[in-house]
Amino acid sequence: MKITDNSFIFKQLGKNDKFPYELLLLADPSKKMIDTYIRHSEVFTAVYQEETIGVIALFPLEKNTAEIKNIAVKPEFQQQGIGTFLIENTFLAAKNNGMKSIMIGTANSSIGQLLLYQKLGFEMTEIKRNFFLDHYAETIFENGIQAKHMVVLERSL
């Protein structure tokens, strides 16, 4: 669906707001995994014409670092800058909270995501070998290759 104006907003979810699982599950196919981090994360959404079209979850780590554990945009709204908008606003929110760097992890098979994160200044720091084999019951394939390892990237703020 084409976004015709830039009236989408970045909004932090409150304590009593429901988590948008239908979006979170696009980025992380395991509800069990999502539930290990979502309640301890700051969760922000992109809202367009009163509809939640994107989500991003920022999980605090030690030493002024936080990790984007989940980012997803509704399929019909992808490729229009919403993912970029969510990440850039999360950088600002994290910086305002005294964070010094942000990490993000994605699968070896997530080619488009690896491209997007590097365009936004993230640099690869580590490979968590077999992460997706060890933590997910389901076999995940993307771009014709199996998701096995997690590529960890980091950006200074």
CA 14 to chain CA centroid, Å, is 18
Residue 20 makes contact with ligand ACO by CB under 6 A? no
DSSP H or E stretch at residue 58 = strand 51-60
Residue 36 makes contact with ligand ACO by CB under 6 A? no
Residue closer to ligand ACO by CB (options 16, 47) is 47
Residue 24 makes contact with ligand ACO by CB under 6 A? no
* Distance in Å, CB of 148 to ligand ACO, minimum: 15
CA distances from 91 to 4, 28, 46, 104, 148 (A): 25, 21, 15, 12, 28
- Quick note: the x/- pattern for ligand ACO over 68-97, rule CB under 6 A, is x-xxxx----xxxxxxx-------------
CA dihedral for 147, 148, 150, 151, sign (positive or negative): negative
- Helix, coil or strand: residue 42: strand
Residue 61 makes contact with ligand ACO by CB under 6 A? no
Residue closest to ligand ACO, measured at CB: 112
CA distances from 53 to 25, 70, 137 (A): 13, 14, 28
* Distance in Å, CB of 147 to ligand ACO, minimum: 10
Which stretch in 95-103, 112-120, 128-136, 146-154 sits in contact with ligand ACO by CB under 6 A?
112-120
- List the one residue out of 105, 107, 60, 68 whose CA is nearest residue 87: 68
Could you list the residues that contact ligand ACO (CB under 6 A)? 26-27, 68, 70-73, 78-84, 104-106, 110, 112-113, 115-116, 119
